[in-house]
Each structure stands twice: as structure tokens, then as C-alpha cells.
Structure 1
Amino acid sequence: MVIHIIKQERKIMSDLIVNTTDANFDQDVLQSDVPVLVDFWATWCGPCKAIAPILEDLATEYQGKVKIVKVDVDNNPQAASRFGIRNIPTLFVFKGGEKVDSVMGLQPKAELAKVLDKHL
């Protein structure tokens, strides 16, 4: 039963965005062969909901070049604590297993694209 729940939480959103868990964070993010944009968010967060369609657009535009991963901080407190998440949405870019950039708060698509382009 536990395995089923973990798989369900890891479901892929909009086919291109991965919803990861504490248990799978290293595999989904740190071991990725491409840069990863990680969105630390929560279901109750208005700005987090507002940035979701922007992330879906970026996932389509950067398909194969960047991986978009979401971490629900309420359901995955270890990942949030591990990276000192205090405000949401907070977005980190990881490359080669290391955090290389960060963006806090709701940002326009063009700004997030600029951040991603720096790490391609």
C-alpha cells in the first residue's frame, strides 16, 4: 500500500512535470542528466497556483533540455527543510547535482526563461 501511495505522489503532471517526493528527490533532481528547475510549492499557496501554468509552458518549451520538478512542501517536509525553504514558491535550478540558481516568489515567464538559459 505504501508503494502505491508513493507512486501516486510521483505522478507526472501535464506529461512533462514530475511531482517528486522526499524519497525520490535525489533520483529525480540530483541525479538528472539535464538541468532541473525545482518548484517548492503548496496547494494552499495562491502565487504557487499562479506560477503553475508558466511552469507548464516552460516544460514544453525546454523539453529535453530542462526537467521541471515540483515538491509539495506540506507532503515532503524533508526536502523543504534540507534546502532551507522558508517562503513559497521558491524555485531552484540544479545542474550536475548542485544548486546553481534560485528564484523566490511569482516571476514572469521571461524571467524564469532567462534563469534557465544561463544554465544550458
Structure 2
Amino acid sequence: MSKVIEIQDSQFNDEVVKANETVLAYFWAPWCGPCRLVSPSVSWVAENYSDRLKVVKLEVDASPDSVATCKVEGVPALRIFKDGNMISSHEGAIGKQGLQDFVESAV
């Protein structure tokens, strides 16, 4: 079972900005081919970093406010939040090792 939490705009503030832990926000779309390649790695991060990181997933078409807030210009997109602030971002496809390095730099 995946530890990735699917949220929408209405939950973004509580689940990401007000979170007590570091949060990886993953922006995706069902029509996005590279998203299908990145999703398994995001799930892997959620499983293996659950003690240090919360992972949330937002479908971009259903979450326009969060997309604007996080300045997402393309998918897949990753944003890391700590203490309510975005501390790191990445857009475009990323391999498992690249994603692990991206997360490690923030936790």
C-alpha cells in the first residue's frame, strides 16, 4: 500500500504548508507520459522515507490554486516544503537515484 497521500487545493494548506514534517509535493497529470515513469519512484520515496518525509500527490488540472502557488510550469513537478516554505523544486522527469538525491538534500 502506497504512503502517498492524494490531495487537492482545499487540503494543500493543512497537508503541506502547516505540516509539522518535511513534505514532498508531487504534481502530476493522467495525460503526462513522464509522470507514469516518475510515479513508481515517488511511491518508493514515500515508503522508504516515511519516518522523515510526508509525500503528497496533486493532479494539476484539479488543483489550479496549488499549481499557481508552487509556480508549476510543467509536469511532473516536485516541490519540497519545510516549515511551510518551499525549499527545493524540480520539474521534468527524474530517475529514482536523482529523486533520492533530491530528497536527501532536504531531509
Using structure 1 for the length normalisation, give the TM-score.
0.84
- In structure 1, stretches of 5+ residues that fail to align are 1-13
Identity over aligned pairs, percent:
29
Using structure 2 for the length normalisation, give the TM-score.
0.94
Superposed counterparts of 1:1-120, under 5 Å: 14-120=1-107
Equivalent pair of 2:34/2:93 in contact (CA under 8 Å): yes
Give the number of equivalent residue pairs. 107
CA distance in 2, matches of 1:90, 1:34: 20
Q: Which structure has more RCO (C-alpha within 8 Å, separation ≥ 6)?
A: 2
User: Following TM superposition, by how much is the alpha carbon of 1:81 offset from its aligned partner in structure 2, in angstroms?
Assistant: 1.5
Q: Which amino acid aligns with 1:37?
A: L
User: Following TM superposition, by how much is the alpha carbon of 1:73 offset from its aligned partner in structure 2, in angstroms?
Assistant: 0.7
Question: 4+ residue runs of structure 1 moved beyond 3 angstroms?
Answer: none
User: Following TM superposition, by how much is the alpha carbon of 1:32 offset from its aligned partner in structure 2, in angstroms?
Assistant: 1.3
- In structure 2, stretches of 5+ residues that fail to align are none
Q: Compare CA radii of gyration and give the structure with the larger one.
A: 1
